[in-house]
Structure 1
Amino acid sequence: MPPNPTVISHTLPPTRQIPNSPLPLLHYPSLLHDLVTTPTFQPTHLLDLYTQHGWQTQWIAKYGPDIPSHYHSTTHECMTVISGSHATIRFGVADGEEKGGGGVEIKAQLGDVFIVPAGVAHKTFSPEPSSSGLAFYQPEDIAAGRAWEVGAEREGKRRRFFEGVELKGEFMMMGAYPYGGVWDFAVGGEHAGREEEVWRVPVPDKDPVLGDSRAGLVGLWEGKSHASLT
């Protein structure tokens, strides 16, 4: 892990359809490149890093040409590029809103880490190598909304599930949430007039990758509140 990681932050104000957040979107370019490009890399190596800092791996996704823009109103999210070359991720706007400007597009590359605050819209598209469709890998209990059920036996079964996910060079990301976080899938307008409900999602104690380092969310999210958006 580099001692002084590069961190790029973007504070995205609400739109007519998307709450976004007073907490900045955090992008750590190539932070885990060395890890994910080692010949022996397995997704569980990253799972263990997340777990060490209080974040739970819940999915691995292989991306197709496009997915709907969406946000999570109930939890913050970490995404790490673990395979493939690159893709574009658009943050901060609902589908259709990008035509009026706003939001930010980032070229996501191997080893990049993104920490997405609750409420911030995101969509991944145009992956390289190109792929015909989305494949989403989740343990059955997490897919059923029971991520909040934890314990050594249950986490062991989930770990074994991720041991079986193969990386074949296509663009893939791995997603994690603070333990106890169960995510929803909102596409825009669901929290119009109620944005503060999303902004109140508690800030986790540690960064999923940088732990308690103030170079990560521990320092960059400290003291942020919804007042900065009003």
Structure 2
Amino acid sequence: MSMQIIPYDIKPTKLIPNSPRPLLLYKGCFLRNGKVDLTLAFDIFKANGWDTQWVTTYGHYQRSHYHSTTHEAMVVVSGPGKIRWGTADFGGDPQEHTYGDSSEDGALYYDVNPGDIFVIPAGVAHKSYDPSAPSPDPISLTGGGAHKVASDDPRRFVKELDVSGFTMMGAYPRGMSWEWSEGGAHVGRFESVWNVPTPDLDPFFGATGGINEYWNSESTQ
């Protein structure tokens, strides 16, 4: 499969480990007739050893967070939306920490569109939001506490979802599950986050391309 891959090198901050591995963006994935095919995304992730755990529609706000024990793949299935990368939130006011100048220096802001896949190294901070959303908070469409698709037939469940607004699907290497860490949680021990092993297969490309090229030992030293 041939497409544009954009790597982003996001350095550690005082509060966020981020990663020596680059954040990867794959453009134009899973599109059929201008829309993302949820079943195709589910199947390719699964075939490459990454399991879908949630489909979520985003609201006005989200706290900046990162995952310290697993890498993550997110595909935008409807949009547009916005993601801020690499920095921590300060304070508890959602209006201020999302739209005000309340993050550390060096934040990367990205306007996302359907078909964008982000392959996120453990430790890279992110927050996803849609200023035009009707709800302030994210809404999981798949239940399971956003740790699994709450259905005996998750593939069919995902296939039948009616998505709108800014919605993404999230997948993780098989056997892994996400936890939520905010800025400062790993100060003094960033290396424990950086040492999360690289999966054997890229969530989209499989055995060649993607993380096999950009996250190999030479490129991350």
1:29-108 pair list within 5 angstroms? 29-34=27-32, 37=35, 41=37, 43-84=38-79, 86-96=80-90, 99-108=103-112
- Tell me the equivalent position of 2:113: 109
The match for 1:222 among 209, 216, 219 is 216
Distance 1:182 1:225, change over 3 A: farther
- Tell me the equivalent position of 1:206: 201
The yes-or-no answer on 1:196 pairing with 2:199 is no
Structure 1 residue 63: Cα displacement: 0.5
State whether residues 54 and 146 of structure 2, in contact with CA within 8 Å, keep that contact through their aligned partners in structure 1. Answer: no
Partner AA of 1:132 in structure 2: S
Partner AA of 1:219 in structure 2: E
- Tell me the equivalent position of 2:23: 25
- Tell me the equivalent position of 1:158: 154
RMSD: 2.4
1:75-123 CA deviation, whole Å, 9 max, x = no partner? Answer: 0000001113x11111110114864421211111111010000000000
Secondary structure, in 3 states, of the residue corresponding to 1:218? helix
Distance 1:29 1:206, change over 3 A: same
- TM-score when scaled to structure 2? 0.84
The match for 2:13 among 12, 15, 32 is 15
Secondary structure, in 3 states, of the residue corresponding to 2:32? helix
Distance 1:27 1:48, change over 3 A: same
Segments of structure 1 that go 5 or more residues without pairing to the other structure are: 148-153
Measure the CA separation in 1 of the matches of 2:146 and 2:165.
Answer: 26
Secondary structure, in 3 states, of the residue corresponding to 1:197? helix
Measure the CA separation in 2 of the matches of 1:225 and 1:206.
Answer: 17
Structure 1 residue 35: Cα displacement: 7.1
- TM-score when scaled to structure 1? 0.81
Distance 1:88 1:202, change over 3 A: same
Measure the CA separation in 2 of the matches of 1:203 and 1:171.
Answer: 29
Secondary structure, in 3 states, of the residue corresponding to 1:193? coil
State whether residues 76 and 118 of structure 1, in contact with CA within 8 Å, keep that contact through their aligned partners in structure 2. Answer: yes
Q: Structure 1 residues 26-35 or 189-198, which shifts more?
A: 26-35
Measure the CA separation in 2 of the matches of 1:182 and 1:208.
Answer: 15
Secondary structure, in 3 states, of the residue corresponding to 1:51? helix
Partner AA of 2:125 in structure 1: A
1:57-78 CA deviation, whole Å, 9 max, x = no partner? Answer: 0000001011000000010000
1:142-199 CA deviation, whole Å, 9 max, x = no partner? Answer: x396x6xxxxxx99533344344322x3110000000011110011111100111111
Structure 1 residue 132: Cα displacement: 1.8
Measure the CA separation in 2 of the matches of 1:170 and 1:10.
Answer: 26
State whether residues 63 and 131 of structure 1, in contact with CA within 8 Å, keep that contact through their aligned partners in structure 2. Answer: no
